[in-house]
Each structure stands twice: as C-alpha cells, then as structure tokens.
Amino acid sequence: MTKRRIGVLVSGRGSNLQAIMDKIAAENLPIEVAVVVSDKADAFALERAAQAGIPGKAVVRKNYSSKEEFENTIDGILREHNVELVVLAGFMRILTGNFIAKWRHKVINIHPALLPSFKGLDAQGQALEYGVKVAGCTVHFVDEGMDTGPIILQKVVPVMDDDTHDSLANRILVQEHLALPEAVKLWCEDKLEVKGRKVYIKK
C-alpha cells in the first residue's frame, strides 16, 4: 500500500509530532512523516525526528532576507519530500497568504482553544481570564486569517475553579494529542470534505 506523505512544521518540543508518530505506529497507518521542519535550530522536535529516522530541517527566519524567501525555502523542502499534507504542530509563525494559496486545504493546524473563541497567542490564558467553564482544542484547515480556517475536529475539557494557566494548558494538551492524529488519519482515509466554511467528515 502506498503511504500518504505528511510534512510537520514545529517550533518546540514536538509532543504533538510524537503523538502523530505514535498513532501511525500503533494503528499501522499508511502514513509517512516525510520531513520535519523547525523554525528553531534547537527545537527538541528535531531530536524526536532524528530518533525516528525522519529527515529534519531547521529553517531559521533570521537567516533569510524576507518572509517570502523564508517561506519559499520551507515550501521547497516540503515539495522535495513529496509532501501531500502540511501539519502545523506547535509551529509558532503565521504563514502568509502566498504560502497558503500554494497549499489550499492542505495545511492543518492545532489550536488550544475552541475556535472561533480565543484566537492567537496564549489561548489558554485568554480562556481563564474570560472565565469560561469549558475550554479545549481545535484542529482546522489553515486559511489566510489567524485561526479562522474551516474546523475539522474539536475536543472539550472542563475549566476548574482552581485552574492555573499550566494546569489548563496540560489538560488541553492531552486532548491535542488525540485530536491532531485523529484529523491526520481522517485526511489519510479521504474522509474530509471542505464546503465553504464547513468540513464534512464522510462516514
């Protein structure tokens, strides 16, 4: 069986990358992580990739004269590895419309909030400050806006009265580790259909 090829973009420790690799292995899914690209040379995610025998590349923004050159380099690496789906797993940079246009409905992101609430940075802190009773995470296709693309999956967690930023973030992270690999699996099985703002999951 031909394996579907994904490229994973990361900035940090890569726990969501690990969750994807673990699900592929546990369920023997016909998916290959073809390449891992980090915008930070010292990201532990690159270490995880190396341990799994996956090519890892650091593409550091300050080494490029423009955002366009930076993104074109990432795009080239993804195409060189015949990537079909780009997975943002804790990638802390906003991709421009120019990049997204080349990968329409082929980039997915995990966000630690129930979109459309609490977009952008520190979604967990925003949720705590607002006083919501439930929080969670969202996997969505990426469009030109910030955290505005069509929603694939959402998972919910309760917010406790004594929650700190870290305790809530950790509870959400457990669900991220379920949601993102699940979305990748649905994509692999050709079960995701985008119509306008909505993503339909085929039975």
User: Domains in the chain and their CATH numbers?
Assistant: 1-103 (3.40.50.170), 111-203 (3.40.50.170)
State how far the Cα of 91 lies from the Cα of 195, in Å rounded to an integer: 26
**Nearest to residue 91, comparing CAs of 147, 21, 166, 164?**
147
DSSP state of 203: -
pLDDT value at residue 21: 98
Catalytic (active site) residue 81:
no
The fraction of the chain above a pLDDT of 90, given in percent, is 100
For residue 158, the SS3 value is: strand
The average confidence (pLDDT) of the chain is 97
What is the average pLDDT across 38-52? 98
pLDDT value at residue 1: 72
State how far the Cα of 117 lies from the Cα of 46, in Å rounded to an integer: 31
Confidence category of residue 5, pLDDT binned at 50, 70, 90: very high
Exactly one of 81, 105, 111, 177 is catalytic; name it: 111
Tokens of 66: 């423009």
State how far the Cα of 11 lies from the Cα of 37, in Å rounded to an integer: 8
What is the average pLDDT across 80-98? 97
State how far the Cα of 102 lies from the Cα of 104, in Å rounded to an integer: 6
